[in-house]
Amino acid sequence: MSQRDEKGRAGATEATRAANAAMAADLAFEDTRDFDEASRGLIAPLPDGGRVKGADGGLVWDLSRFDFIHQHEDAPDTVNPSLWRQMKLTVQGGLYEVVPGLYQVRTLDLSNITFAEGPDGIVAFDPLISAETAKAALDLYYEHRPRRPIVAVVYSHSHVDHFGGIRGIVDGADVEAGKVQVYAPEGFLEAAIAENVLAGNVMSRRSSYMYGNLLPADERGQVGAGLGVTTSSGAIGLIPPTHIVKETGQRETIAGLDFEFMMAPDSEAPAEMHWFIEQFQAVTAAENCCHTLHNTYTIRGAKIRDPLSWSKHLEKTIEMWGDRAEVMYGMHHWPAWGNDRVLEMLGMARDGYRFINDETLRLANHGLGPAEIAERVEFTPELGRHWGMRGYYGSLNHNVKATYVNYLGWFDGNPATLHTLPPEQAAGRYVEFMGGADAALERARTAFEAGDYRWVAEVVNHIVFADPDNEAARELQADALEQLGYQSESGPWRNFYLSGAAELRQGIRDLPTPNAASADNVTAMSMPLFFDYLGMRLNGAKAGDRRATIVCVLPDSGETWTLILRHGTLSHRPEAVEHADAILTVNRSDLNGVILKTTTLEALLGDESAKIEGDAQALHDLLGLLDEFEFWFNIVTP
CATH number reported for the structural domain that contains residue 29 in this entry: 3.60.15.30
**Domain annotation covers residue 256:** yes
Same domain, 531 and 400: no
Structure confidence at residue 194 (pLDDT): 78
pLDDT at res. 527? 92
Cα–Cα distance, 236 to 159 (Å, whole number): 12
Q: Are 109 and 61 in contact (CB under 8 A)?
A: yes
Q: How confident is the model at residue 632 (pLDDT cuts 50, 70, 90)?
A: confident
Residue 201 has pLDDT above 90, yes or no: no
Tell me if 545 is assigned to some domain: yes
Region 16-25 average pLDDT: 96
- Which of 391, 406, 421 is at the close of a domain? 406
Per-residue pLDDT at 512: 61
Angle at Cα 542 formed by Cα 541 and Cα 547, nearest 5°? 95
In a domain, 262, yes or no: yes
Answer yes or no: is pLDDT of 508 > 70: yes
User: Is 295 contained in some domain?
Assistant: yes
- Whether 390 and 537 share a structural domain: no
Q: In the predicted model, is pLDDT for residue 515 greater than 70?
A: no
196 pLDDT higher than 80: no
List Cβ neighbours of 502 (8 Å cut-off, separation of 6 or more). 7, 214, 215, 478
Whether 517 has a pLDDT exceeding 80, the answer reads: no
Domain presence at residue 416: no
pLDDT digits (tens, 9 = 90+) for 224-250: 999 999 999 999 999 999 999 999 999
pLDDT at 211: 92
Arithmetic mean of pLDDT, 333-341: 98
**541-599: pLDDT as tens digits:** 999 999 999 999 999 999 999 999 999 999 999 999 999 999 999 999 999 999 888 99
The predicted model scores a pTM of: 0.93
Q: Decide if 52 is inside a domain.
A: yes
Residues paired with residue 277 on neighbouring β-strands, in sequence order: 259, 282
pLDDT computed for residue 319 by the predictor: 98
In whole angstroms, give the CA distance from residue 227 to residue 490: 10
- Reported for 74-79, long-range contacts at CB under 8 A and 24+ positions apart, including other chains, are 75/20, 75/24, 76/12, 76/219, 77/11, 77/12, 77/16, 77/17, 77/20, 77/486, 78/11, 78/12, 78/16, 78/219, 78/220, 78/486, 79/20, 79/219, 79/223, 79/486, 79/494
Alpha-carbon gap, residue 589 to 593, rounded angstroms: 7
| Domain closes at, from 353, 375, 406 | 406
Domain assignment present for residue 432? The answer is no
pLDDT more than 70, % of the chain: 98
First and final C-alpha spacing in the chain: 30
Contact 529, 558 (CB under 8 A): no
The domain total for the chain is 2
Among 376, 406, 436, where does a domain finish?
406
Average pLDDT over residues 358-369: 96
The domain in which residue 602 lies consists of: 526-624
- The mean predicted confidence, pLDDT, of the chain is 95
Rounded distance between C-alpha atoms, residue 477 and residue 448, angstroms = 10
The b/e string for 79-92 (b: 16+ C-beta within 10 A; e otherwise) is: bbbbbbbbbbbbbb
Q: What is the pLDDT of residue 272?
A: 98
pLDDT per residue over 262-305, tens digit each? Answer: 999 999 999 999 999 999 999 999 999 999 999 999 999 888 99
**Looking at the domain assignment, is residue 384 inside a domain?**
yes
- From residue 69, give the alpha-carbon distance in Å to each of 16, 60, 325, 451, 532: 20, 20, 33, 27, 45
Q: What is the pLDDT of residues 416-454, one digit of tens each?
A: 999 999 999 999 999 999 999 999 999 999 999 999 999
Q: What is the CATH number of the domain that holds 533?
A: 3.30.1050.10
Q: What is the pLDDT of residue 1?
A: 66
